[in-house]
Each structure stands twice: as structure tokens, then as C-alpha cells.
Amino acid sequence: MLRVSLLFFCTIVFGTSLFAQTKSDSIAKKAVKVVPSDDSVIDGKLFKSENKIEALVDSLNVKNLEDLPHVAELDKKWLEELYSNSLFDTIYKSVTELDYAPVDYPELPTDTLKARLAKLNARTPFNVEYNVSLESVIKSYLKHRRSSLERLMGLSHFYFPMFEQEFDKHDIPLEMKYLAIVESALKPRARSRVGATGLWQFMYGTGKEHNLNVSSYVDDRSDPIKSTTAAAEYLNRVYHIFNDWDLALAAYNSGPGNVNKAIRRSGGSKNYWNIRHNLPRETAGYVPAFLATMYIFEYAEEHGFKPERPPFQLIQTDTVHVKQMISLNHVSEATGINIEELQFLNPAYKLDILPKVEGKAYTLRLPREAIGTFVTNEDQIYAFANAEFNKREKPLPQFVSDDTKIKYRVRSGDYLGKIARKYGVRVSQLKQWNNLRGNDLSIGQRLTIYPKNYGASIASTPKKVVNTAGKQTYTVRAGDSLWSIAQKFSGVSVQNIKDWNDISSSKLKIGMTLIVSK
């Protein structure tokens, strides 16, 4: 469907540049919705009016040739599903040019691979059959991409449970979860050069068809659960056209029309491996990439992979419906959760803001231990957020004297949250001032910053203060949180308390003494 964000998969697994030399030429597809009266259907094919004369001439030359009736029926069924070209994007050059040359990897003998693929084939509806091309891709990944795959395996511990839950609801093979690895490298904000977005790479129009709404604040295509539901719905649609999961996977990649052409050119065969040579080269590489990923994940332990764990497991998080407009920065201040962790858990909010819209419900995902803090102090948190939003009417940075801004050069180890805390600003402000769409930074990149309390000693990292002599202190009581304590003292933030007391966690013990002043 959506096809590939192999751009992102290739960036991680193949090691190619995100934008350089990754894209093959687009495959032109015409969307068919309603056939206008001046268009023609000739020999079961739709021709636009401007090509009608040429089509008629062609039809006279081949009028005695017949289509395969059962394949034509597949076309008809798909047209009834309102086939949309926006379901498909272009495949990327890296997969188009997969190198199937033999790979020397003695740690995986061919006989062992054959036996494992046979076991995998027995427990999945996909045709996981051994062939030398698949062996080459698997061994290439094992030999050259171990660290990248371990990072993906770590992320999978968070995302795969939600994929499996949605796929189980829609009777989708659970192994289809590996498709998100190929599509987006498990980046919920992944965006291809043509605009396909999210874990499952939906185009804007296709997302709307599947109730994935996009606004200035929210992009449902980046919502892991909503987008997975939409992907399951689409996969079910193509499966009921072909009644074969291999072909559904191929259709997701290159479109039902191209799959039907390959079936015709193969004399009516409907086994993926029998029609593979007639599929677009992109799909011929895409499916082996999917199967190789499946094999490596299923046999990760046997190959000695040690996944890098994400900061949270899905089961360690919970959700709450917000009642008023609030930003992730406000939530971070209130709960002590780092903004980067909140962005990881809530990727659908484009500006890190959860809006309040009549008739719509917006969900905030938090670590379980922070849910209690948020709900218990809900009214105070919303009041704090409202007060902060009311402060937004300020002179725009471009109308402020250059004397009040600084240019910051990004260093190794920097990230937006770290820089924002250093200068007393918000991540959303850094993004706005520097026209940043994502969170990625490059070493040496220059950022414009309008820091708070300009002129104070902000050029260096704040020193940790652990000596309480001469400092105002506070003794932690039952029910206290860093946020509630910060609210008791004017001009003090959660991060201030952490820095002054040399603590990184938000957990407090009753009776502990905290420094609460500079």
C-alpha cells in the first residue's frame, strides 16, 4: 500500500543516505473511481478519452485475443473496492538493485538455513521457501547489518505487541508485523520524499479513506495504533481480492494492477514465486527483504543478537484522555518525564501539542508511574498549561533585537531537549525558530536561540549543587512530586530541582531534603 518507506528501511539496514540515490523512477498508476461517459472500457481495460482513438485501433488488432476470465474477475473486484493510486508510492533504488551474489557466511550453513526456513514455512501462511536469492539477502543482512538489526529488534519490543493486537482483531497473519520494519524502520514519524508518512507509510488521501485524519496539530498516520488498524483494514481488502497473503504483500508494495499483470504474463499462475519474474523489480526485491527480516527476527537468538531495549515496554505505559489543550512540554514539567520520552510515546502530535477540539478525543500516553501524578494533579496541570499558553502573545523573534539571540553550534551528544533545558526554552520553540520538522540534528548545525534570562551564565552547563549550606530546602512529604514541589516556589522548574540536587529520576522518598533555590 503504501509502499515502502524502504527509504527508511534502507537507511538503517542498507546503510544508504536518506535522500541520496535511494529512489527509483515512479510507477505511473491512474486512479479509477467513476468512469466518465466519454471514457471507454475496451477488452476489460479503461482508457481515458484522450487515448480513445489509439485504444480503438489497438483493439481492432487484438480483438480475437482473450483475457483469462478469472484474472479479469480479480480486476473487477478490485475496481469495486475503489482502487486508489494514492495507496502506492514508488519503490526505492536500493531494493531495486539488491545484490543477490553469494555471500560468504559460514556461521549459517545452507542446510541449516533450509531446515529453519522449512519450519518457518510450516507455521506461517507466507510461502517461505528456500532459494539462493533469499539465502543471499539473509546472509548479507547477518554479515553487514547486525547493529542496525539489533536496534530494530529493541524497538520491536515496544511496537510489536500493539501490531499483534490489531492484526489479531482483523485476522491478519501476525508475521505481517515485520512489514513495518521494511516500510518505516519502526519510525512513526517517518516521511518519504513523496509524503507517505508513518509506520505503515500512508499517503494523505489513503489515510483519509481509512479514517486517518491530518490537521495542523495531529497526524493520525503517525499514531501507532490508528495507523496499524488502517493497515490491517487495507491488507484485508487486498487479501480478499487474491485470497493469498503473498500476493497481498506484493499488492501492498506495487499495487493490485501490477500483480494482476504478472499473473497474466505467467499464464494464470497465482503462486508468488511463480510470478515473481513478471513482477516489477521493486517487488521482486521487496518480498525477499520482508522474508529475510522475518527469518532473522524469528531466529535472532540462534544468531546471537542482543537487542537494544527501548526506554519503555508497551505494557509499562497507559493512556489518559486530555480534557484541555496541553503541550508535551507542560506534561514534562508536571511529571518530570523527559520531553524526548514523551515524544516517543506520543508521535502523532506534530507540534507536541494536544489540542482541544469539540467532538474529538485526544489521548496522552505516559509511563504507568506518571499516570497517577497526572490524574491526581489534573486541574493544577491544566491551569498551569492554560497560564503558559496565555503567555504566548509576545513579539516574534524576527522583531527582537539581534542582541537578544544567540547562534548555537550543535555538538556531539546534543539533542533538542538537552539544548532547550540548557537555555531555558522549549523544544517546540527551538523547532519554530529554526524551521525544524523533526528532532534530528547534525553535528556542526547552527541553531538560533532566544534564551530566557539572557545575560545570565547560560553558555556553560549548569553545575550540580549538592551542598545545602545557605540554600533554601524542602522536605519531601507524602503525595509530593517534583512538579508539585516546583509549583510551591516561584520561578523554579522540575529540571531546576533535578540539576540542583544532582538527581536524574523523578522518584522521591518521603523525608528526603531537596534544594529549591539557586
Q: What's the farthest any 2 CA atoms get from each other in the chain?
A: 99
- 456 domain residue, yes or no: no
298, 325, 354 - which closes a domain: 298
DSSP state of 326: E
- 462 domain residue, yes or no: no
Instruction: Kindly state the helix (H) or strand (E) to which residue 475 belongs, with its residue range.
Output: strand 473-475
Residues 279 and 176 in one domain: yes
Residues 137 and 193 in one domain: yes
Q: What are phi and psi of 320, to 5 degrees?
A: -145, 140
Residues 188 and 323 in one domain: no
Residues 237 and 154 in one domain: yes
State the 10-residue block means of pLDDT for the chain, 518 residues long: 43 35 32 37 42 42 56 58 34 57 92 96 93 92 88 92 96 95 88 85 90 94 96 94 92 88 93 89 83 96 87 87 93 87 92 91 93 90 87 52 74 85 81 83 88 42 45 80 79 81 77 82
Residues 435 and 331 in one domain: no
Of the candidates 352, 315, 345, which has an alpha carbon nearest to the alpha carbon of residue 330?
Answer: 352
Pairing of β 353-354 and β 326-327: antiparallel
CB-based contacts of 132, cutoff 8 Å, min separation 6: 100, 102
At residue 63, the pLDDT reads: 43
Instruction: Kindly state the helix (H) or strand (E) to which residue 207 belongs, with its residue range.
Output: helix 204-209
- 424 domain residue, yes or no: yes
Q: Which residues are designated catalytic?
A: 183
- 77 domain residue, yes or no: no
Give me the domain span that covers residue 36: 32-68
Cell, residue 452 = 530566557
- 78 domain residue, yes or no: no
Task: From residue 344, give the alpha-carbon distance in Å to each of 203, 228, 353, 415.
Answer: 22, 17, 14, 14
Contacts from 235-238 at CB under 8 Å and sequence distance 24+? 235/1, 235/170, 235/172, 235/176, 236/170, 236/171, 236/172, 237/81, 238/1
Residues 383 and 445 in one domain: no
Taking the C-alpha atoms of residue 187 and residue 197, their distance in angstroms, rounded to an integer, is 9
Residues 145 and 291 in one domain: yes
Q: Which amino acid would we find at residue 510?
A: I
Instruction: Kindly state the helix (H) or strand (E) to which residue 281 belongs, with its residue range.
Output: helix 281-298
Residues 408 and 285 in one domain: no
Taking the C-alpha atoms of residue 122 and residue 270, their distance in angstroms, rounded to an integer, is 19
Of the candidates 217, 238, 236, 302, which has an alpha carbon nearest to the alpha carbon of residue 78?
Answer: 238
Task: From residue 347, give the alpha-carbon distance in Å to each of 341, 359, 365.
Answer: 10, 21, 10
Residues 324 and 443 in one domain: no
Residues in the chain: 518
Q: Is the pTM of this model over 0.95?
A: no
- 332 domain residue, yes or no: yes
Residues 422 and 485 in one domain: no
Identify each DSSP E strand in 351-492 by its residue range. Answer: 353-354, 363-367, 406-409, 446-449, 473-475
Total number of domains in the chain: 5
- 364 domain residue, yes or no: yes
